[in-house]
Structure 1
Amino acid sequence: MTVPVLLVVLALALGGCACVVWAQRGGPRWARAVAAVTLGAGELLRRSAKRRRRLGGGGNNGGDDG
């Protein structure tokens, strides 16, 4: 069940990237809308990652536990 979900997420990401490139070259209105959503989602993920790093959360931060 996990593999099909990951494949769908990968297809959506690749499609979004293709729409960003297409919209940059003057594509149709719907491609520009998809590109805007894709870029907005990327910005949200980037801010979330910065916030997690700043707060020290999430996973191994390279410290030595021993």
Structure 2
Amino acid sequence: MAVLLLSLALLLVVGGCVCIVRAARGGPRWVRVVAAVTVGAGELVSRSGRSRQRWGGDSGSGD
């Protein structure tokens, strides 16, 4: 079951990346919508990682 979920997630990520490339070349409207959703999800994940890193305690700087 876990392999199926990971495969599905990988398929969605690869499909989103393909839509981003195709939208950059002027694809149909649905491709641009999927690309925008993919970019937005990537930004949310990126922000979540930065806030977790900021509030996680250790900033990585040595003494």
Moved over 4 A (4+): none
User: C-alpha distance in 1, partners of 2:33/2:26?
Assistant: 12
Q: Structure 1 length normalisation: TM-score?
A: 0.85
* Residue-pair matches, total: 59
Residue 30 of structure 2: aligned partner: 30
RMSD between superposed Cα atoms in Å: 1.5
CA distance in 1, matches of 2:23, 2:5: 27
In structure 2, the gaps of 5 or more residues are none
Deviation string, structure 1 residues 1-58 (Cα, Å, up to 9, x no partner): 100110000000000000000000000000000000000000000000000000016x
Aligned-residue sequence identity (percent) comes to: 59
Q: Where does structure 1 lack aligned partners over 5 or more consecutive residues?
A: none
